[in-house]
Structure 1
Amino acid sequence: MNTKDATGPLKGLRVLDLTRVLAGPTCTQMLGDLGAEVIKIERPGAGDDTRGFAPPTMPGTGESAYFIGVNRNKRSVTLDIAAPEGQAIAKQLLADCDILVENFKVGALARYGLGYEQLHAEFPSLVYCSITGFGQTGPYAPRPGYDSLIQAMGGVMSLTGEPDGLPQKVGVPVADVFAGLYGCIGILAALRHRDRTGQGQHIDIGMLDTHVAWLANQGMNYLSTGENPPRLGNQHPNIVPYQVFPTADGYIVLSIGNDPTFKRFCENFDVAHLLEDPRFATNAARVENRQLVTDTLTPVLKQHPTAWWVEQLEALKIGCGPINTLKEVFADPHVQARGVVVEMPHASGTPVKIIANPVRLSETPADYRIAPPMLGEHTEEILQDLLGISTAEMDALRAKGIV
């Protein structure tokens, strides 16, 4: 198979991708962006569930925008791994693979002879990553995992939203994305170990685990006090003022991270007298008096429009920013200068726009060599080139619904 155009640091590694939807595909797309050859196994006739997550579809392709977003740098092979013939082909592919990533329910792949313990005996150097809702052990292990319920069970919804409103989930599926990225980190560490010892291992990623892990300062706030942090809307639990304020024509995020910055703000915007008030003098005091600080600064910020505040505050090196819509995000000159959107050719004949990989490597940058594939687009190429399956054998497999 032609992989000469791969340029990333993982060039030469091969991944068998048994994932679907978001957490697993996020992980394998990152591996593919960094140069690994990713073979995505999909159900014949159906494929990854996200192929049906539409509208919207990418114009001219018939593919869902959701699928396009996390499946570049992969080749699609249709294969029924529930059938013995499909399992045999999967094992043949694994003979030349370094990594297997899967997000089936706990124990599901073992029914097909593709569980970790079964494969580790045959492929001892294989790095095997499982991404599930609740991990491989514990009382919740058999449960299915979905982003919104993980956000709920993992505590972030209790922290998100207005104090007197409903708990809110984050507007993008962060539980899925973080699980995929933690999975990728685990794989990279396991590859380092394998390269030194020749030994593969199992990486057990539970979405609830990763969700709790990124509770960060709020998790630590609970552990240090034993008290549930309250919902604060757009305010910061440990820093004040660090929040959304209304302006004359909209809103702005004001991020004052320390006392010298607060002093600079007060001295430049006619509220220097606040520095003499002990309730404003230190960040700890401002946290204790957050409502007073908010009520005092709100009329100050409402005196001028957002653009004026951004210009003035940036000149003073005070953290701030407008609250952009996605249209404004993708039109932002800095976002455009950073090349955050990439256009790739697609098998449909219509180019697709994708969001670029944010990892900037000076010597081995992410590359964009394979557009998100059509269902089964590379089945013959891979099975014939890698496994030597003949055209007649392919026809027979197709007739049985194996591919």
Structure 2
Amino acid sequence: MSDLHKYGATNPHGVLHNTLVLDLTQALAGPYCTMLLGDMGADVIKIEPPRSGDQSRGWGPPFVDAQSTYFLAVNRNKRSLTLDLKTPEGRAILQRLIARADVLVHNMPRLSSQRETGIDSETVTALNRQLIYVAITGYGSSGPWAERPGYDMVAQAESGLMSITGEPDGEAMRFGIPLADMTTGIHAALGIVAALLAREHTGRGQVLDLSLLESHAAYLALPASALLNGGELPQRVGNAHPNIVPYQLFKTRDKYITVAVGTPRLWERFCQVLGIEDTIMRDKRFATNAMRLQHRAELIPLLQEILLQRDAETWLEALRAAQIPCGPINSVPEALTHPQLVERGFIVELEHPQLGVLKSLANPVHFSATPVTYRLPPPLLGEHADTILQELGYTKMEIAQLRADGVV
């Protein structure tokens, strides 16, 4: 077993060492956020409903010995405690945890449900004024759509991003992953770390209100600026770039490659590699990026005709030698064995109590002084209940009674 596992629930060298995070979220946005915090050393307690747990535990196939790979992907570095928050006893346990916690994250949109389970902001912040309270919902905690349920697919559609994704003459397309969920999780983690830093100066916690819709719509920064400031309506351009030419996929003799020619110097080098420095490069229609953008429909077929004459690896070798950003279209298996990712330890292994060695993608942030660690595998449902309850002062007899009553 790697020494990365030796620290247990918290990492004494991590940025968030001695930070207790209560994770009452399900699915992806919240769990991804809290996993990032756990990687950075926080003690994350995942609070789940008894018997059913996080809904994503049942999302599949694929399953590995009844464990959903979806759940396994975003729940490492957490301890699991099952609590029935509809019971007074369950809420009492939660209140003890809140009194000790630094952060609470939930994704329950309805205020009535929040109050029923004791996780509304008024109740929680009254128990702990230093707590960072984080609500992740589909549409945010205010406005006419505040209590509507939200999922990634809907956020992708309503944010406007799907409308500019896909081929010009095709349909709008969703991303190949739940990007709205994951970007919201990243924004939430960033906000939490900033709020913890602010607390160091003020001594007070605060409420963070995030929505899938806003987090995803925020990625409209470039097309929104073009529309709001330049009056240009964004359009789908497929695998090309709306502002830079050539910056897209090209078909070679055997397969597609990507080429990103983002500067005048790169354009010169690109033309030299293709052997067109005395022809296309001297054509006034293509002299600047603005001109190339204007004459995209004329330029791209000329370049495509040349690139079809050799295979992908031959072109990539020549382009890389000229320091032109380029690459193949890797499949997922090819990406996961990319030599650069392998060298930087992108796949990590954790020892799971039922599954044995479990593989996971590493946190992409490399800290020089406070490295991330991978201490705990994704937990079994309620796996750490006894330990956590004992930390709160419950006796073995009291814990047994809580189990008998279905509270945990």
TM-score (norm 2): 0.95
Q: Match for residue 323 of structure 1? A: 329
Within the candidate set 211, 219, 223, 2:228 is matched to 223
Q: Match for residue 298 of structure 1? A: 304
For 2:369, the aligned partner's letter is E
The CA deviation at 1:123 is 0.8
Q: Match for residue 95 of structure 2? A: 91
Report the Cα distance in structure 1 between the residues aligned to 2:10 and 2:215, rounded to whole angstroms: 35
Q: Match for residue 310 of structure 1? A: 316
Write the deviation string for residues 180-213 of structure 1: whole angstroms up to 9, x where unpaired: 1100111111111111111100000111111111
Q: Secondary structure at the match of 1:321?
A: strand
The CA deviation at 1:349 is 5.1
Report the Cα distance in structure 1 between the residues aligned to 2:210 and 2:10, rounded to whole angstroms: 32
Report the Cα distance in structure 2 between the residues aligned to 1:242 and 1:80, rounded to whole angstroms: 53
Write the deviation string for residues 144-176 of structure 1: whole angstroms up to 9, x where unpaired: 111011000001100111111110000001100
- After superposition, the CA RMSD in angstroms is 1.4
- Report runs of 4+ in structure 1 exceeding 4 Å deviation: 1-6
Report the Cα distance in structure 2 between the residues aligned to 1:66 and 1:113, rounded to whole angstroms: 28
Q: Is the 8 A contact 1:75 1:373 kept in 2?
A: yes
Q: Match for residue 191 of structure 1? A: 196
Q: Secondary structure at the match of 2:327?
A: strand
1:164 aligns with 2:169: yes
Within the candidate set 261, 266, 269, 2:274 is matched to 269
1:376 aligns with 2:348: no
The CA deviation at 1:132 is 0.6
Alignment of 1:2-401 (within 5 A): 3=9, 5-58=11-64, 61-107=65-111, 108-272=113-277, 273-348=279-354, 350-384=356-390, 386-401=391-406
Q: Match for residue 3 of structure 2? A: none
Report the Cα distance in structure 2 between the residues aligned to 1:258 and 1:106, rounded to whole angstroms: 50
> Which runs of 5 or more residues in structure 1 are unaligned?
none
Structure 1 residues 138 and 42 mapped into 2: Cα distance closer, same or farther (>3 Å)? same
Q: Is the 8 A contact 1:33 1:367 kept in 2?
A: yes
The CA deviation at 1:6 is 4.2
> Which runs of 5 or more residues in structure 2 are unaligned?
1-6
The CA deviation at 1:222 is 1.8
Structure 1 residues 334 and 133 mapped into 2: Cα distance closer, same or farther (>3 Å)? same
Report the Cα distance in structure 1 between the residues aligned to 2:272 and 2:15, rounded to whole angstroms: 50
TM-score (norm 1): 0.97
Report the Cα distance in structure 1 between the residues aligned to 2:350 and 2:275, rounded to whole angstroms: 52
For 1:235, the aligned partner's letter is A
Structure 1 residues 77 and 336 mapped into 2: Cα distance closer, same or farther (>3 Å)? same
- Which 10-residue stretch deviates more, 269-278 or 74-83? 269-278
For 1:297, the aligned partner's letter is L
Report the Cα distance in structure 1 between the residues aligned to 2:160 and 2:18, rounded to whole angstroms: 40
Report the Cα distance in structure 2 between the residues aligned to 1:191 and 1:313, rounded to whole angstroms: 46
The percent identity for this pair of structures is 46
Q: Is the 8 A contact 1:212 1:219 kept in 2?
A: no
Number of equivalenced pairs? 400
For 2:85, the aligned partner's letter is I
